[in-house]
Structure 1
Amino acid sequence: MNKKENKIVPSLRFPDFVNEGEWEYFNGNELFKPISNKNHKSDLPILAITQDQGAIPRKLIDYHVSVSKKSIKSYKVVEVGDFIISLRSFQGGIEYSNYFGLCSPAYIILRKKIQLTNDFYRYYFKSFPFIQDLNKNLEGIRDGKMVSYKQFSEILIPKPKKQEQEKIANCLSSLEDVIITESEKFDLLQDHKKGLLQQLFPAEGKTKPQFRFPEFKDDGDWELSTIGELGKFYYGKSAPKWSLSEDAPTLCVRYGELYSKFGAIIKNIYSRTNIDPETLRFSKGGEILVPRVGEDPFAFSNCSYLPFPDIAIGEMISVYETEENPIFFTYYFNTLSKQFARVVEGQNVKNLYYVNLEPIEICKPRSKKEQQKIANCLSSVDELIETQTQKIKALKKHKKGLMQQLFPNVNELTV
């Protein structure tokens, strides 16, 4: 390594550039300058500065924050190709703008001083080596404080030859296009499932679904009943957060996981508790779990089917047992967000007591075969969604690993 010239090479390099020598590094202020152009008529779109989509018009992401006309006058003009240092750059790197618009004066806009490949730096500024170096420069001042241009200027930033910049940018852009395509497929599957849920179960006040499989079209209306008539509830028992440990002996389910980790059918158990088993309540296998505590009244319908026996169930969960098809009724409960929300109690922390769930009217097919057919249909779609989820995770992991190899770690550079 040539210490005087501040050079280093990536661990993975395209064959065309293996013999091109080492990368040059420059201080941030040698490659980018701060821009504070407030010369506008306040008629440009206001940009939200996000970690996952960069700078993007607020209206495209349903971002609603009211701003006065007087405040907009102080906003800065952002041009296509600008980079923005945000309040959270120490977490997610520096953002890029594909849009011409305005942003809050709280942000620092960076513009190239020399000819550089936009996409190369768009990826580099989101890479682990850069964020790691940025944090080294920010030690002790994180708590929501802004990265200054002076701090950015002290960071060494790579500048390989233009052709290599473009090659790396094209490689990562191609992979990103694949991820976007697969994410769109995921969204289509989610929309398809949402449509099926709306059509396969009767709307409120109805006793027949919009769509019926051909073999059940002549079976007549579904039977009107209530949740309480078709099954019975009990509450789980305490498995508090402090009792959790990876090496604890007892597998358990906690209410927060119904919102964050589980789908309609629980495939894996993630938590273990040290609580004395004598004080816990265990599953038999085949129960429906309903969250009893939450913040959003319309999220209480995030119910999950637990197929496993001998799993400790946390106290903030209502457990529903039925002689009917439990997977069918799990999906049915998923469609009852409005009905569940109506009987939620509390202000900041909201509770859904099962005594309030029991009177809710629901219908059931006269044939258990129809219940099974619907359950099989929806669980098949869920399997496709899970496969797609894993595919996207694998692609993102591949991209992350590729970026770590294509961009040298500046912390290895000795000056």
Structure 2
Amino acid sequence: MAEKAREYPELRFQGFSGAWEKRKLGDVSDIQGGGTPDSKNQAYWSGDINWFTPTEVSNQGYLSESRRKITKEGLLKSSATLMPPGTVLMTSRAGVGDMGILTQAAATNQGFQSMIPHKEMPSYLLYSMQFFISRMANKLASGSTFMEISGKQLAKIEVMIPGDSQERELLCNFFKNLDDMITVNQRKLNELKKLKKAYLQKMFPKNGVSIPELRFAGFTTPWEKRKLSDISEKVTQKNTNNSFSEVFTNSAERGIISQLDFFDKDIANQKNISGYFIVKNDDFVYNPRISNLAPVGPIKRNKLGRNGVMSPLYYIFRTHSISPSFLEYYFEGTQWHYFMYLNGDTGPRADRFAIKDSVFSTMPIFITSSSEQIQIGSFFKSLDELITVNQRKLDKLKELKKGYLQKMFI
């Protein structure tokens, strides 16, 4: 016997007990597409009408200012439509289902199917249902080149909403407050990351300079230039007897991490890791794979507290006569990128940076006294711990919201 569909959510505010109503999105909102004025006609652009594109919408709540604006003539001469404040924008091509709420009148390009809520449907309630709407929209989306959902398809999607306007309002306020907390914490985390980036630029000498712009009180002597080979040795010890079975990888975002944790499976052939190099705790690893986060490839320190092995494709080096923590943050900065650009290139593979080991080992490293190294390392470690605490808080808030969405909607 088929299970009867729920008529009300698992969790709701006290005092409400009636069944929720099934409504089609087309019955509670007007669905509106977008359009793009002729890009060659300058009279259509640089006006005062906001004109959003899908890359500007990522479930971030309220949308105020677009990157590009169109003129009134551009609006009239295209299929773009001026939509009122409170309209819920939803991306309808490629990445289907990202949403945002307009705070002022605006238009969009054709990558949207937007919902102008009727009077009985609060904008934020519609936005809060993004998880359910986007899931259904993706099921209905079709296309050979990219996934897309039409306005007619979106209008037919059925949602369950409270029949009582007071319950609708309470739900709106609850999720708005939760989203506001997420936004505040995201903003704080972003500011901490920007602060760290600024300190990395100011607390290590710039190219051609031997004194950093910012340093701790009591330190005045110039930093000294050393070659990487003066403070480290290239690791060439192979896992000959298969003494170690855990394979590490070097991620630009997550650092040295177990390959199993990064890929959710072992990529390396366990039978062939005897030719891999042994990586010990505090060893440094250069990964030639380039990305937006690491334009010349990342150099990361093994802080896992255990040994493992890595592919010979990596350049692994073991340091001496220098604080590992200091050097770790030196490589988080960008000053060393200048040497890489001068002495290497992207090579035959566009995703890899090519530089000879013999050249890489001559990289200049500016170092200071051990006491200043320790202070710099401790400073950035404390900043990283603060970033981690705030990241965890943000992640918990997002998980909390996800849990409430599943329990407070049908």
Q: How does 1:258-407 map to 2 (within 5 A)?
A: 259-262=252-255, 270-271=261-262, 272=266, 273-276=268-271, 277-296=273-292, 299-300=295-296, 302-307=298-303, 308-323=305-320, 324-335=322-333, 336=335, 337-346=337-346, 348-353=350-355, 354-365=357-368, 367-407=369-409
Return the match for 2:58 from 45, 51, 54: 51
- Cα deviation digits, residues 352-375 of structure 1 (max 9, x gap): 42433333322111x222212211
- State the SS of the aligned residue for 1:84: strand
SS in 2 for 1:372: helix
CA RMSD of aligned residues (A): 3.5
Post-superposition shift, 1:80?
Answer: 1.6
Q: One-letter code of the match for 1:223?
A: E
2:83–2:107 contact (8 Å) kept in structure 1: yes
Amino acid at match of 2:341: A
Contact 1:237-1:314 at 8 Å conserved across structures: no
Amino acid at match of 1:222: W
> Matched residues in 1 for 2:293 and 2:386: separation?
28
Query: 1:204, CA displacement in angstroms?
Result: 1.1
Letter in 2 for 1:29: G
- Is the CA contact 1:236–1:317 (under 8 Å) kept in the aligned structure 2? no
The corresponding residue for 2:199 is 196
Structure 1 residue 233: Cα displacement: 3.0
Residues 1-16 of structure 1: matches in 2 within 5 Å?
8-16=7-15
Q: Which residue of 1 aligns with 2:188?
A: 185
Determine the C-alpha separation between the residues in 2 that align with 1:305 and 1:72: 57
> How high is the TM-score relative to the length of structure 2?
0.80
1:118 CA drift (Å): 0.8
Structure-2 separation of matches of 1:122 and 1:230: 56
**Cα distance in 1, alignment partners of residues 173 and 344 from structure 2:** 51
Give the match for residue 413 of structure 1: none
Gaps of at least 5 residues in structure 1 are 239-248, 409-415
User: Structure 1: how far apart are the matches of 2:214 and 2:34?
Assistant: 57
Shift of 1:301: 5.7
Structure 2 matches for 1:225-244, cutoff 5 A?
225-234=226-235
2:278 aligned counterpart, secondary structure: coil
Letter in 2 for 1:330: E
Matches within 5 A, 1:50-199: 50-53=57-60, 57-59=65-67, 73-88=78-93, 91-124=96-129, 126-127=130-131, 129-138=132-141, 141=143, 144-160=146-162, 161-199=164-202
Distance 2:405 2:93 in 1: 21
Distance in 1 separating the partners of 2:144 and 2:100: 18
* Cα distance in 1, alignment partners of residues 397 and 144 from structure 2: 31
Assess, with a 3 A threshold, how the Cα gap between structure 1 residues 224 and 132 changes in structure 2: closer, same or farther: closer
* Percent of matched pairs sharing the same residue: 19
CA contact (8 A) 2:248 2:259 kept: no
- The unaligned stretches of length 5 or more in structure 2 are 38-42
1:229-270 Cα distance to aligned partner (Å, 9 max, x none):
3223357989xxxxxxxxxx9322224x2x2322xx869982
Deviation at 1:399, TM superposition (A): 0.5
* CA distance in 2: counterparts of 1:72 and 1:224, whole angstroms: 62
Between 204-213 and 356-365, report the one with greater CA deviation. 356-365
Change (3 A) 1:316 1:390: farther
* Separation in 1, partners of 2:280, 2:85: 59
CA distance in 1, matches of 2:191, 2:185: 10
Aligned to 2:248: 253
Matched residues, number: 377
Q: Is the 8 A contact 1:179 1:395 kept in 2?
A: yes
Distance (whole Å) between structure 1 residues aligned to residue 153 and residue 171 of structure 2: 26
CA 1:102/1:235 → structure 2, altered by over 3 Å: closer, same or farther?
A: farther
Distance 1:404 1:89, change over 3 A: farther
The TM-score with structure 1 as length reference comes to 0.79
**What secondary structure, in the 3-state scheme, does the structure 2 residue paired with 1:14 have?**
coil
